[in-house]
Amino acid sequence: MKTFKLLPLLIVAVLGASLFKGNAQEKTATDSLPKVTSEKLPVPTKEKKVRKNSIMINLSNPMLISDQFQIIGYERVLPNNQSFTVNIGKFSIPKFTGDLADSLGLNTDYKDKGFHFSTDYRFYLKKENRHAAPRGVYLAPYYTYNHLNRENSWNIDGRIDEVYTDITFNIHTLGAELGYQFIFWDRVALDLVLMGPGFGFYSVKAEVGTDLDPNEESEFFDKLNEILADKIPGYDKVIEAGEFSKKGTYNVESIGFRYLVRVGYRF
């Protein structure tokens, strides 16, 4: 009878020991798993693309000289906040017009050939700029070359045949410039050459295709020189009418100047 009374107690003891052992194993297995924190891991940031190239359009020459004076440029950024630019295009001056041209009997037809080339090597000033090139203040040596060839015909009073002229104009300029370039939305560049003093080599030559006597030729060249001075900015500051009137040619060295406004696309 005592055995039957103790049996329920033994069963309860065995079940309790089994449950305790199972809970211990479950706790041990759970503790062995790696703990996961609720902190957010840093998201890797995407690196900003470095744009080293720009295609530029000259705005100042078409506005100040002629809408046919069209130049396209390229800028390449180099190490150490430096860059170089190369610019090529068509060099042209406005059509000869006005009372003086009319008085010489200028015909409307003409042939015009012109070429522009320029380059500079830029140093963007680290101490003055918070941003890397090509943004900010820069200094640069520069070289420019402009060539123009224009053929015209004239009906001068008192002459039966037409007078033909072949005018050639060349400018070589070496100098130094101070400029500033703005960058908008990482893609658009606004480039300003604020000061660009230089030393220029100028030459102008006019060949007449019809014989004129010395007095007629001198008078014609003198008026032609005035027409050129009216169409080319700064022409009358370097080309003297006297020598040109005698020979129809003139070569001179003088102080030049460069300033421009350009807008570009970066890639």
Contact (CB, 8 A) for 167 and 96: no
Summarised one tens digit per residue, pLDDT across range 100-139 is 888 889 998 888 999 999 999 999 998 899 899 999 999 9
Q: 122: closest CA among 108, 134, 130?
A: 134
CATH code, residues 53-266: 2.40.160
- Check residue 11 and give its pLDDT: 53
Decide if pLDDT at 98 tops 60. yes
Decide if pLDDT at 4 tops 50. no
Decide if pLDDT at 2 tops 60. no
**Residue 256: strand, helix, or coil:** strand
User: Domain locations in the chain?
Assistant: 53-266
147 CB-contact burial (10 Å; exposed 0-12 / middle 13-18 / buried 19+): middle
Q: What is the pTM of this model?
A: 0.77
Across the chain, what does the average pLDDT equal? 84
- What number is the average pLDDT over the span 163-172? 93
β 106-124/53-58 pair status: unpaired
Summarised one tens digit per residue, pLDDT across range 228-252 is 888 888 887 777 766 676 678 888 8
